[in-house]
């Protein structure tokens, strides 16, 4: 087996952030960390090894130690980011703050960016990325666009056509447009200065952002885990992790 073949067999370790909520299973009704199976199933199908990262107290040293064991980081979906993090009061429709999860994910993200670890943000994940880098959010989209099609309710995902910005990393992965599954009532308002907008929908809402340059930092507002017949986003972050890992091990890719 040559070096390129060996590199292709590398299975990177991909950390996925999780919920921390009250959860009922059988006779138990306890506060628990969990993540829908489709997220880590997508990483596994794309060739990665998924590990779950439950919210917990974290300082810079703890976050650094966690991220040192990862080859990529996925910021997953979930409850709304605390608007205090971007200087706003909470809208009546915004979720009660989960400051433990916010602090955890901000710490992991900061450690990953410093280490040039590939990052993929999904739904809440794009919002975490934007807020962490200094951007703001629309707290309730019906107030902005006049309808609730982005979050139909009752766990029913809406199908949305997304237009992708030519010349972006996302365009190199997905082409000019993609049909997506969405379930969100918030979205990016003012993007952080370090981010490039790489997709919008028919309401002109921001649907994807990325950091330009060599590092893989891509985030989308939709839910790619709901369409595992299309693994391109999961494969992209796993491939980016594989390249970084292979280079650290001095294996040709």
Residue 90 backbone dihedrals phi, psi, to 5 degrees: -75, 130
> Tokens representing 130?
């934007």
Q: Are 106 and 153 in contact (CB under 8 A)?
A: no
CATH 3.40.50.620 fits 3-139+187-248, yes or no: no
Q: Where do the structural domains in the chain lie, given as residue ranges?
A: 3-139+187-248
User: Tens digit of pLDDT per residue, the chain (253 long)?
Assistant: 544 566 678 899 999 999 999 999 999 999 999 999 999 999 999 999 999 999 999 899 999 999 999 999 999 999 999 999 999 999 999 999 999 999 999 999 999 999 999 999 999 999 999 999 999 999 999 999 989 889 988 889 999 999 999 999 999 999 999 999 999 999 999 999 999 999 999 999 999 999 999 999 999 999 999 999 999 999 999 999 999 998 887 655 5
Name the residues annotated as catalytic: 123, 223, 225
Q: Are 112 and 66 in contact (CB under 8 A)?
A: no
């Amino acid at each position: 087996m040559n070096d390129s073949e060996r590199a292709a067999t590398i299975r990177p370790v991909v950390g996925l952030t999780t919920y921390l909520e009250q959860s009922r299973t059988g006779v138990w009704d306890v506060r628990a960390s969990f993540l829908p199976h489709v997220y880590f199933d997508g990483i596994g199908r794309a060739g990665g090894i998924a590990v779950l990262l439950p919210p917990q107290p974290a300082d810079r040293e703890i976050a650094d130690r966690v991220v040192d064991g990862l080859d990529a980081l996925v910021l997953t979906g979930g409850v709304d980011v605390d608007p205090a993090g971007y200087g706003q009061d909470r809208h009546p429709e915004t979720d009660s703050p989960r400051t433990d999860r916010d602090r955890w994910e901000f710490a992991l993200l900061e450690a990953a960016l410093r280490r040039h670890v590939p990052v993929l943000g999904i739904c809440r994940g794009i919002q975490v990325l934007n807020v962490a880098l200094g951007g703001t959010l629309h707290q309730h989209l019906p107030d902005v666009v006049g309808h609730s099609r982005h979050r139909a309710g009752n766990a029913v995902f809406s199908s949305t056509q997304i237009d992708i910005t030519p010349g972006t990393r996302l365009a190199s992965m997905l082409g000019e447009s993609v049909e997506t599954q969405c379930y969100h009532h918030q979205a990016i308002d003012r993007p952080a200065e370090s981010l490039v907008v790489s997709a919008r929908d028919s309401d002109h809402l921001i649907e994807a952002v990325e950091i330009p340059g060599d590092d893989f930092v891509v985030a989308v507002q939709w839910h790619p885990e709901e369409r595992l017949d299309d693994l391109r986003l999961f494969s992209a972050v796993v491939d980016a992790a594989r390249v970084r890992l292979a280079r650290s091990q001095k294996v040709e890719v």
